[in-house]
Amino acid sequence: MLSMSGNNTLVRFEDVTFFYAENKPLILEGNFALRRGAKCTLMGQNGAGKSTLFKLLTGELKPEEGRVIIHQGTTVALSRQVVPRDQLAWTVREFFQGVFADTVYDIDRRIDEVLPIVDFALDDYDKKMNTFSGGQQARLLLASALIQKPDLLLLDEPTNNLDHAGIEHLTQFLKDYNKTVIVISHDADFLNSFTESVLYLDVYSRTIEQYVGNYYKVLDQVAARVEKEKSQNARLEKSIQEKKDKANFFANKGGRLRAVAKRMREVAAEAEENKVDVRKEDKTIRAFTIPVQEPLAGEIITITSFTRLVQGKEQTKKVEITLRKGQRLLLKGPNGIGKSTLLERLASGTAAGARIGEGVRVGYYRQDFSTLNFDHTVFESLAEVMDRVDEQVLRATAASFLITGELIHNKIGTLSEGQKGLVSFARLVLQKPGLLILDEPTNHINFRHIPVIAQALDAYEGALILISHVPEFVASVHIDEVLDLAK
C-alpha cells in the first residue's frame, strides 16, 4: 500500500489485480478514486469480492498487480460483519483494546464515549463477547471501528441484527460523520439515506465501476446500462445471422463467390467479438419451494412458557402457543432480550416450556451460520441433510441458489457471508423440515433475493417461527401470531 499527499483524494486504486486462487481473478485492473469526506456504497453480487476490497484497503491483503494508494497519515478502521471466533471469549475491554496496535491506558473512558453513539448501554466491560445477542454484537462491532475515529471508515453489513431504532441511530451518525465512509449493505433504504456514490464490482468482468448519485439513482443507471448492452447484443446477433446466411448462400454458388463467403464469415466473427458480456450481478436466485416433511399432522410445537432477559436477569413468562401445519409465529423484542437464545433452545429441544411433536424434523437457520461445518465443502454440507444423497437433485438445488461450477467444492469457511446464507437455504430445501426456525434470514442476503425468499416462506406448508427486523420482509410472509418478549 502506497501513500500520497497534497491533494483532496484520500484513496485510489490504480490497475489493481487480485487473485483469490491460482488462475482465479477476483479483481482485474480495478480503478477508482475517492475524495476526503465521500460517502460511498460498495455494491456487487455475493462473492464478487466486496470484503476482499476492504481487506486490500486495510492492508490485510496485497494486490498481485497495480497499486492501492492511500493519503499519507490516513487511519483506516473496519467494522466486520461478525465477531471473529477466536475473540468470542474475550471481554468487552479486551475486544476494544484489540483494535489498537498499542496499549490504550484510558480504554474504559473511550468505550464510555463510543457506546452511546451505537445506542448501547453497558456498565460491565468484563462481560464476555459470547454472552451478547447478535444485535448487541453488531453494535459492539460497529463501536470497535468508531472508537478509532478513523479517516477512512469501512462498514461491512452494519445494519445486520440492528432493530429500527439502531438503524436510525447509525444513519444519523453517518450523515454527521465528516470523514470518508465506504459501506457494504443490502439495506437499500439505509444506503439511499446517505450515499453520494457507488463502487460496483462486476463479478463477470472482475472490474470496478464507479457511479455518482444516490443509491436508487445508481440502481437505475445500472439497469439502463444492462438494457443498453442487451439491445446492442440483439442488434449484433441479427447482423451476425445475416452475414452467416449470406456466407452460406455465396459458398453454395462456388467459384469466385467462395472468397466472398469467406469474408462474410470473417465479418460475422468480428461482430461476435464485439458482443458485450452482459453483467451477471443482476442474477436473482430462482423461485423455490421448501418441501414440507410428510406425513405431518397435529400439534407441531407447543410453547407454554419462555425465558427472557431483563437487565441481565432471566425472567420466565407463561404463554399459550400451539403451531400446526401452515401456522407461523413472529418473535419480537429489542436486542438483548433473548430472542435468538429462545430460538436456539427451541431448535435444540432444550427450551423448558416448549415441546416439539415426536418425529418432527426441525430446519434451523442461524444468523451466525454456526449450524454449518466450515471445514465441509458445499457439496458435503448439502449432502448431510439429505435422507438419500441424489447428486443430480443436490446439484440442481445448489444451482438454483447460484452455487455452480467449482463453487460446490469450496469449503464453507471460504464463502462470503451471503453465499453461506444461500447454502443454508439450499439445505432447508433438501432437508424437507416439518418446523422451520429462522433467525434473521435476510442478513447478508442480496436485496434482489429477498422477495424470492419471502415468497418461499409464505408458501411453506409446515410450521414456522421467525425473527426479523426487516418490516417489508415480515409483511410479505403470512403471520398468524406474534410473541413480543418485551411485553
Output the CA–CA distances (angstroms, integers) from residue 168 to 77, 139, 205, 482, in the order listed.
22, 13, 36, 24
Q: Which amino acid is at 436?
A: L
CB 477 within 8 A of CB 457: yes
Using pLDDT thresholds of 50, 70 and 90, give the confidence band for residue 156. confident
Which residue bears the cell 460496483?
200
Query: Looking at residues 165-171, what average pLDDT do you find?
Result: 82
**Is the predicted pLDDT of residue 46 greater than 90, yes or no?**
no
Calpha distance 21→226 (Å, rounded): 29
Report cis status (omega within 30 of 0) of the bond before 471. no
Determine the pLDDT at residue 437. 97
Which position has the higher pLDDT, 188 or 253? 188
CB 186 within 8 A of CB 447: yes
In 333-396, DSSP assigns E strands to 354-356, 362-365
What pLDDT does residue 322 have? Answer: 95
Q: What is the mean pLDDT of residues 251-265?
A: 68
pLDDT score for 68: 93
Task: Determine the pLDDT at residue 138.
Answer: 82
pLDDT digits (tens, 9 = 90+) for 334-376: 877 888 889 999 999 999 899 999 999 999 999 888 899 999 9
Mean pLDDT of 178-192: 87
- Write down the mean pLDDT value for the chain: 86
Identify the sign of the CA torsion 468, 469, 472, 478: positive
Which has more pLDDT, 187 or 319? 319
What is residue 279's predicted lDDT score, i.e. its pLDDT? 52
Q: Bridge partners of 79? A: 155
Write out pLDDT tens, residues 274-303.
555 545 445 789 999 999 999 888 999 999
Nearest to 348 by CA among 259, 435, 233: 435
Which CATH superfamily, name and number, covers 2-75+150-219?
P-loop containing nucleotide triphosphate hydrolases (3.40.50.300)
The residue that leads in pLDDT, 334 or 182, is 182
Stretch 366-388: mean pLDDT: 93
Longest dimension (CA), the chain: 94
388: Cβ contacts below 8 Å, ≥ 6 apart: none
**Residue 266 above 90 pLDDT?**
no
Kindly list the domain boundaries of the chain, sorted by start residue.
Answer: 2-75+150-219, 301-484
* CA distance linking residue 434 with residue 364, whole number of Å: 11
Give tens-digit pLDDT for 394-419.
999 999 999 988 889 999 988 888 89
- The answer to whether the CB of 339 falls within 8 A of the CB of 331 is yes
- Distance between CA atoms of 130 and 119, rounded to whole angstroms? 19
Higher-confidence residue of 252 and 458: namely 458
Using one digit for the tens of pLDDT, what is the confidence trace for 82-111?
Answer: 888 899 999 999 999 999 988 999 999 999
Residue 435: what pLDDT? 96
- Quick one: 301-484 is in which CATH superfamily? P-loop containing nucleotide triphosphate hydrolases (3.40.50.300)
Mean pLDDT of 433-454: 90
Q: Considering only CA atoms, which of 300, 299, 288 is closest in space to residue 434?
A: 300
Residue 21 exposed, middle or buried by CB count within 10 Å (0-12, 13-18, 19+): exposed
Q: What was the pLDDT predicted at 393?
A: 95
Q: What is the pLDDT of residue 486?
A: 87
pLDDT of residue 273: 60
Neighbours of 287 (CB within 10 A): 12
User: Is residue 250 very low, low, confident or very high in pLDDT (cuts 50, 70, 90)?
Assistant: low
Q: Which element (helix H / strand E) includes 7?
A: none
pLDDT classification of 2: cutoffs 50, 70, 90: low
